[in-house]
């Protein structure tokens, strides 16, 4: 690339060289360079094979308990595509914010493969491969446009575009976007995002409004896949800088529709995310500390581009010391970020216009695509996330490849080979780390164990005057890892591993976690271990932190019933009923307690009537309702319910006994004796002397 600007007119093209016989097929670019189409196919084929190798392990991965349930197997909207198409397209479909194309793609996956995770991962990998292809063509088109715009001749454009595509495809920072099903939105939105950029580069050259219409369409589709696409107009401005667009009124007017769309989508996303709790309360940090996070994250994403080690699916916020002060390097990060960026931009400016525009494009595109997630406004409980690099690194990669090309052209021949070997070694390192990172996402256990290994619990020794204490300490925020890992051992394994679950919950209890769910889960484990006293203590601790937990009230009520404290059990069931009056499990246990424990037959009828409306096929509900009706003297209703049960299961000995007792009350002793004998025949233990009593009553007629 020459630093001297050239005229923007198109250079004359040389006629293609033709050998004797059949002419060789050639592809002409906008600048007259000619390449065999097989070069593009060969490069892309090789790149895709490398990327596929990096992600081959992903095809055997499982669902994780980090939002995969929220998006897929617990989401009722995606499980019936035809019935829920309208809410999927026009509502948030049970998620914090509106991204209908992502939800539609997941619904299509469910329609064809249900809860088989392989198809979801295959879709993600295919989208990533398509994005890699698109980056190849975007990079090639941009390089050719740069030649048109005065950057001088650029040789080997397909190889440079191929390197851009390869670096995107194999970078380990992108594994989170591909190997996490809940992040389908990343790979989907970038697909449309790149198509929009490609259409814009073509518009830059041809100045046809038709192309601008395509840009708008692809922008809308990108936004419909993930709201983070609101950065798109700023990315267009970065391309304006790179491709030497004249800064005039037209430049700004053509961006107005994009900016309006971005503002509307951005506000809607902020409001919905804030309501759902996705935007966390950052009042604990001062304005200076928030600015320090911006500088730190800006540098960290850049650092991990070159040194992608210590990657984690969860990066906790730093701890404040006793004086509410961050580690000192956080406060220096904004100054370092400004100094590095401004220094490189200034050096490029001194070097010449073309250098200046390339550096400004690289930093500008990168900053525009991370600016909203640098955590000045806390978007989630983590300070940074690998997935946010998926779009942002495109600008960094392109600028680096351009300067690598310039460097190779300036170096003596003897130095070119070592540089190319270093580039190759860097790519090999990325590929190795990438495929290793995909294995971390294999399942819930591997995912959270990796986070805990990066941010393990520590035992601090505290010396007091009377005794030495050992205090367990973990990074703030990482308790999510211990809790989710504990949940995995209880909820996802068959049979559950309660000991491993307890070990993770115990760490959180020892750190005095404020998460009510931790103590509720501990209560469940103690209940399973039949230590009901300890179980009740944990449930009570949980409810002291969150008195709106339906599950905890229900579980504590069941435990109170087990220890014979029926009145306290009913009190908890009633609390749970106020939170969810149609829960089937609650109505079952409360109805049974009212019937058999508290003998409040009329109240139990209310619950069993409601249960029968919910599930009219469950015969146990009719049996219990019949028993309640029998006890309040409604014999006709009772015998009707018992008849339903017997017709469904003629071998239900218990119901034959109730039926017999009802006929005893009706003084139909002959029928009562017949039904009692059936009850005995089908294994029900009758009260001592019951049949003899019926026979005496039949003989006496009383």
323 or 302, higher pLDDT:
302
Residue 349: count other Cβ atoms within 10 Å of its Cβ. 14
pLDDT at 261: 84
Q: Given a cut of 90, is residue 375 above it in pLDDT? A: no
- Residues listed for the chain: 702
Can you give the C-alpha Rg of the chain in angstroms? 34
pLDDT at 188: 97
Lowest-pLDDT range, 88-102, 134-148, 300-314, 420-434? 88-102
pLDDT at 5: 45
- Cα 385 to the chain's mean position, in Å? 12
pLDDT at 239: 96
pLDDT at 20: 42
Interval 209-231: pLDDT, tens = 888 889 999 999 999 999 989 99
CA angle 636, 638, 639 (to 5 degrees): 70
pLDDT at 142: 97
Rounded to whole angstroms, how far apart are CA atoms 72 and 117? 10
pLDDT at 646: 94
Phi-psi region of 16 (alpha: psi -120 to 50; beta: other; left: phi over 0): beta
Helices (H), 370-515: 389-410, 413-440, 444-454, 479-487, 498-510
Interval 69-84: pLDDT, tens = 999 988 989 998 888 8
pLDDT at 13: 45
Interval 107-133: pLDDT, tens = 999 999 999 999 999 999 999 999 999
Give the mean model confidence (pLDDT) for residues 578-600: 95
Instruction: Parse the chain into domains and list their residue ranges.
Output: 280-410, 444-513
In degrees and rounded to multiples of 5, residue 460 shows phi and psi of: -95, 135
Burial class (CB in 10 A: 0-12, 13-18, 19+), 607: buried
Interval 488-535: pLDDT, tens = 999 888 899 999 999 999 999 988 888 999 999 999 999 999 999 999
Q: Given a cut of 90, is residue 196 above it in pLDDT? A: yes
pLDDT at 22: 39
Confidence of residue 281 (pLDDT cuts 50, 70, 90): low
Q: Which helix (H) or strand (E) holds 164?
A: helix 157-170
Helices (H), 114-156: 117-148
Q: Which of 501, 519, 498, 521 is nearest to 510 (CA)?
A: 519
| Exposure class string for 53-86: b at 16+ Cβ within 10 A, else e | ebbebbeebbbbbbebeebbeebebbbebeebee
């Amino acid at each position: 690339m020459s630093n001297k600007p050239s005229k923007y007119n198109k250079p004359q093209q040389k006629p293609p060289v033709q050998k004797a016989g059949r002419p060789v097929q050639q592809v002409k670019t906008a600048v007259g360079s000619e390449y065999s189409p097989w070069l593009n196919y060969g490069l892309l084929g090789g790149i895709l094979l490398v990327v596929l190798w990096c992600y081959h392990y992903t095809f055997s991965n499982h669902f994780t308990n980090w939002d995969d349930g929220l998006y897929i197997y617990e989401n009722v909207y995606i499980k019936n595509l035809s019935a829920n198409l309208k809410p999927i397209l026009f509502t948030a479909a049970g998620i914090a914010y509106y991204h209908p194309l992502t939800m539609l793609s997941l619904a299509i996956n469910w329609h064809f493969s249900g809860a088989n995770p392989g198809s979801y991962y295959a879709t993600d990998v295919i989208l990533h491969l398509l994005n890699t292809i698109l980056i190849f063509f975007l990079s090639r088109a941009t390089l050719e446009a740069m030649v048109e715009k005065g950057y001088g001749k650029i040789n080997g454009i397909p190889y440079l575009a191929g390197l851009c595509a390869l670096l995107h495809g194999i970078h380990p920072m992108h594994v989170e976007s591909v190997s996490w099903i809940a992040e389908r939105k990343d790979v989907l939105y970038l697909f449309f995002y790149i198509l929009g950029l490609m259409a814009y580069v073509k518009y830059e050259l041809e100045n046809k409004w038709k192309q601008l219409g395509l840009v708008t369409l692809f922008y809308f589709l990108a936004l419909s896949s993930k709201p983070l696409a609101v950065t798109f107009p700023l990315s267009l401005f970065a391309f304006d800088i790179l491709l030497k667009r004249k800064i005039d009124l037209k430049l700004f007017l053509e961006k107005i529709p994009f900016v309006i769309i971005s503002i509307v989508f951005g506000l809607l996303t902020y409001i919905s995310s804030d309501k759902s709790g996705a935007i966390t309360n950052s009042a604990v940090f001062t304005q200076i500390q928030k600015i320090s996070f911006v500088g730190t994250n800006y540098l960290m994403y850049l650092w991990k581009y070159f040194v992608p080690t210590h990657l984690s699916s969860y990066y906790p916020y730093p701890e404040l010391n006793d004086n509410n002060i961050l580690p000192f390097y956080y406060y220096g990060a904004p100054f370092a970020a400004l100094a590095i960026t401004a220094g490189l931009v200034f050096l490029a400016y001194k070097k010449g216009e073309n250098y200046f525009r390339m550096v400004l494009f690289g930093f500008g595109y990168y900053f525009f695509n991370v600016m909203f997630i640098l955590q000045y406004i806390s978007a989630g409980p983590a300070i940074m996330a690998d997935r946010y690099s998926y779009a942002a690194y495109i600008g960094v990669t392109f600028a680096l490849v351009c300067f690598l090309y310039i460097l190779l052209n300036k170096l003596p021949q003897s130095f070119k080979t070592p540089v190319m070997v270093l580039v190759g070694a860097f790519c090999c390192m990325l590929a190795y780390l990438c495929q290793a990172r995909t294995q971390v996402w294999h399942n819930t256990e591997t995912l959270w164990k990796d986070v805990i290994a990066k941010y393990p619990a520590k035992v601090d020794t505290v010396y007091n005057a009377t005794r030495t204490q050992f205090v367990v300490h973990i990074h703030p925020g990482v308790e999510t890892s211990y809790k989710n890992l504990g949940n995995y051992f209880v909820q996802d394994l068959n049979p559950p591993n309660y000991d491993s679950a307890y070990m993770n919950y115990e760490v959180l209890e020892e750190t005095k976690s404020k998460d009510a769910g931790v103590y509720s889960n501990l209560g469940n484990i103690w209940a399973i271990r039949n230590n009901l006293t300890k179980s009740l203590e944990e449930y009570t601790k949980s409810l002291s932190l969150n008195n709106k937990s339906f599950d905890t009230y229900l579980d504590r009520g069941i435990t109170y019933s087990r220890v014979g404290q029926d009145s306290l059990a009913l009190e908890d069931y009633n609390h749970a009923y106020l939170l969810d009056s149609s829960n089937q499990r609650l109505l079952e246990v409360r109805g049974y307690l009212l019937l058999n424990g508290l003998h409040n037959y009329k109240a139990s009828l209310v619950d069993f009537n409601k249960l029968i409306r919910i599930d009219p096929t469950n015969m146990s509900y009719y049996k219990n309702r019949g028993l309640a009706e029998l006890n309040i003297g409604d014999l006709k209703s009772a015998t009707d319910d018992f008849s339903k049960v017997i017709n469904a299961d003629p071998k239900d000995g218990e119901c034959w006994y109730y039926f017999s007792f009802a006929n005893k009350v009706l003084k139909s002793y002959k029928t009562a004796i017949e039904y009692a004998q059936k009850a005995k025949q089908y294994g029900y233990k009758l009260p001592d002397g019951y049949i003899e009593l019926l026979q005496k009553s039949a003989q006496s007629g009383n």
